[in-house]
Amino acid sequence: MDANMEQMSYTEAKKELTEIVTAIETGELDVDALTEKVKRATELILFCRTKLTHTDEELQKILNDIT
């Protein structure tokens, strides 16, 4: 994961991922760009998954603390 991604929000990552998926679905990408975009999409998916997992863990901790 690159350093810029560490500063990225979940919303920004999701937006970029949506843009990549749309470009792939509409056939806007040539073969050379496709490989790079798929790599970037993979990074974004992992980033989002990590963010969601971390958020879920924090929420569970908060809920456990108040019960």
Asked if residue 48 belongs to a domain, the reply is: yes
Asked if residue 59 belongs to a domain, the reply is: yes
Q: Return the half-sphere exposure (C-beta side, CA atoms, 13 A cut-off) of residue 9.
A: 3
Asked if residue 1 belongs to a domain, the reply is: no
Asked if residue 6 belongs to a domain, the reply is: no
Count of domains in the chain? 1
4-36 residue pLDDT tens: 777 899 999 999 999 999 999 999 888 889 999
36-57 residue pLDDT tens: 999 999 999 999 999 999 999 9
Instruction: For residue 20, give its domain range.
Output: 11-66
Asked if residue 5 belongs to a domain, the reply is: no
Burial of 10 (0-12, 13-18, 19+ CB in 10 A): middle
Asked if residue 40 belongs to a domain, the reply is: yes
Asked if residue 17 belongs to a domain, the reply is: yes
b/e map 11-37, b = 16+ CB within 10 Å: eebbebbeebeeeeeeeebeeeeeeeb
